[in-house]
């Protein structure tokens, strides 16, 4: 298996894992505050990541890599989880998942700015077409949406795209799981303090679904998914493999409907289907 094919396979597995993030977050914020959920998931993931780093005797990153790790931490450890948790207090997870269609474009743009990639002009045509379709749908639909929630999701997509591209570039030197592990450790002091400050006054009213949601976003969304995702971006190319995120709404909408029993309108499915068609053209010219 060549590096590109291996990268696309690894990236697809990462997308499948990430697809459960928003439904799990939606469940968790029912009993946990967004700030506690954001910080607690990072702390739990950091404990697992630190165990891996110590057990496998990984060398510390160079001082010159700390700036890039800080960008990764701010983008995917703090920014995206917090902004999506806040957004999901205003919108349904099914509605929020549609915004994931904007992630490939954001990731590709930052791949050019931070990773030095140069996709062909036709790539941008397909990527922008998919992004414009998703954005247009998000702002004209009324089901499960709100202006506040939509703006928070857009902000989340921007910082996440930056974190993805920066992490992928750094993964070429440090390795995929090492990047997210060191980024988590870098953010640990702030996340640990925030966890203590925002801790629930009582644990009695927290249901099992919320605990399961916290477990999923801590272990899979915050750590395991990134192991495959950063590896895929590093091997297959940030702009190209990043287009796999166009498949994420399919998986996410299915989970939202099956697990949360949220209404998934036919228009959501139609828009998602059209956007996914753009991935073939974008991949061809990446």
pLDDT digits (tens, 9 = 90+) for 95-152: 777 787 788 888 888 888 877 777 788 888 887 887 777 767 766 654 556 788 888 9
Radius of gyration of the chain, Cα coordinates, nearest whole angstrom: 18
Instruction: Quote the pLDDT of residue 74.
Output: 94
Specify the number of domains making up the chain.
1
Q: How does residue 259 score in pLDDT terms, banded at 50, 70 and 90?
A: confident
Instruction: Quote the pLDDT of residue 120.
Output: 80
CA 38/CA 82 separation, integer angstroms: 5
CA 124/CA 131 separation, integer angstroms: 10
- Between the CA of residue 91 and those of 42, 141, 148, 153, 196, what are the distances in Å? 23, 12, 9, 10, 27
Summarised one tens digit per residue, pLDDT across range 158-202 is 999 999 899 988 988 888 889 999 999 999 999 999 999 999 988
Summarised one tens digit per residue, pLDDT across range 193-241 is 999 999 998 899 899 999 999 999 999 999 999 999 989 988 888 888 8
Domain that holds residue 151: 3-285
Instruction: Quote the pLDDT of residue 142.
Output: 47
Report whether 17 contacts 220 (CB < 8 A): yes
| pTM score | 0.83
Tokens of 153: 């999701």
CA 241/CA 197 separation, integer angstroms: 38
Summarised one tens digit per residue, pLDDT across range 7-56 is 888 999 999 898 888 788 888 988 999 899 999 999 999 999 999 999 99
Mean of the pLDDT values across residues 237-255? Answer: 78
């Amino acid at each position: 298996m060549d590096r590109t094919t291996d990268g696309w396979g690894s990236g697809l597995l990462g997308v499948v894992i990430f697809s459960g993030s928003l439904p799990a977050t939606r469940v968790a914020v029912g009993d946990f505050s967004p700030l506690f959920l954001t910080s607690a998931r990072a702390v739990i993931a950091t404990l697992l990541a630190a165990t891996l780093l110590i057990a496998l005797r990984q060398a510390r990153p160079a001082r010159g890599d700390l700036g890039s790790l800080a960008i990764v931490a701010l983008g995917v450890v703090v920014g995206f989880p917090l902004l999506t948790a806040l957004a999901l207090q205003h919108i349904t997870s099914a509605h929020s998942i549609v915004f994931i269609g904007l992630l490939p474009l954001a990731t590709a743009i930052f791949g050019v700015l931070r990773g030095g990639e140069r996709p062909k002009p036709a790539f941008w045509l397909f990527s922008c077409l998919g992004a414009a379709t998703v954005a247009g749908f998000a702002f004209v639909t009324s089901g499960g949406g709100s202006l506040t929630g939509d703006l928070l999701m857009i902000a989340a997509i921007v910082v996440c795209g930056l974190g993805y591209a920066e992490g992928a570039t750094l993964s070429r030197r440090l390795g995929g799981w090492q990047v997210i592990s060191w980024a988590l450790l870098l953010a640990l002091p702030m996340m640990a303090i925030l966890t203590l400050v925002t801790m629930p006054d009582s644990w009695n009213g927290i249901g099992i679904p919320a605990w399961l949601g916290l477990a999923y976003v801590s272990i899979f969304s915050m750590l395991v998914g990134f192991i495959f995702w950063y590896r895929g971006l590093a091997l297959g190319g940030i702009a190209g493999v990043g287009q796999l995120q166009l498949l994420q709404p399919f998986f996410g909408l299915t989970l939202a409907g099956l697990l949360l029993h949220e209404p998934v309108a036919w228009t959501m499915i139609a828009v998602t289907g059209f956007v996914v068609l753009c991935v073939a053209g974008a991949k061809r010219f990446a």
